[in-house]
Structure 1
């Protein structure tokens, strides 16, 4: 395998990650809808701790656990941001 082949494999993985990130975001928006119906807060620190613990326990490397947590923190932050935007938009539609 050469550098170009390896880069092509990375590009394919990036395409998969893009689809996965967007599907996760769609599901987060669905969760946000349920949270609004149930009058639950967008931020759920206990849930986030469970996600981080599960990701660390399943982490085969080479990324260390700190890197995994930082990556998932970012993904979760963006999901939370989307939930807040959705909640604000739904609130404006009700007015």
Structure 2
């Protein structure tokens, strides 16, 4: 493959990633509404650790587990903000 073809592939993958992140945000938003209704805290450290463990188990590389967790830390930060803002 040429560079332009790889870049096209990356663009297509980015579009899929954006759709999936938005789907995740919708789920987080719904959970936030339930938490608010039940007076539950937005921040749940145990759940976050469970997510990190889950993505480490799912990781097949080439990213390392610490790199995957770094990405998910940021995703979770954004999702937590969505839950707080509703």
Task: Determine the C-alpha separation between the residues in 1 that align with 2:85 and 2:58.
Answer: 31
Structure 1 runs of 4+ aligned residues shifted over 3 Å read none
What residue in structure 1 maps to residue 85 of structure 2?
A: 85
For each residue in 1:49-78, what CA deviation from the matched residue of structure 2 results, as whole angstroms up to 9, or x when unmatched?
A: 000001111110110011000100100000
The yes-or-no answer on 1:35 pairing with 2:46 is: no
Q: Separation in 1 of the partners of 2:59 and 2:21?
A: 18
Show CA shifts across 1:11-66 (max 9, x none).
00000111111111111000000101111100010000000001111110110011
Q: Using the alignment, how far apart are the partners of 1:24 and 1:58 within structure 2?
A: 17
Query: If the length of structure 2 is used for normalisation, what is the TM-score?
Result: 0.97
RMSD over aligned Cα atoms: 0.6
Aligned residues: 86
Give 2:18's aligned residue.
18
Mapped to 2, the partners of 1:59 and 1:39 lie a distance apart of 34
Ranges in structure 2 where 5+ consecutive residues have no aligned partner = none
Counterpart residue number, 1:56: 56
Give the alignment's TM-score, normalised by structure 1. Answer: 0.88
Larger Rg: 1
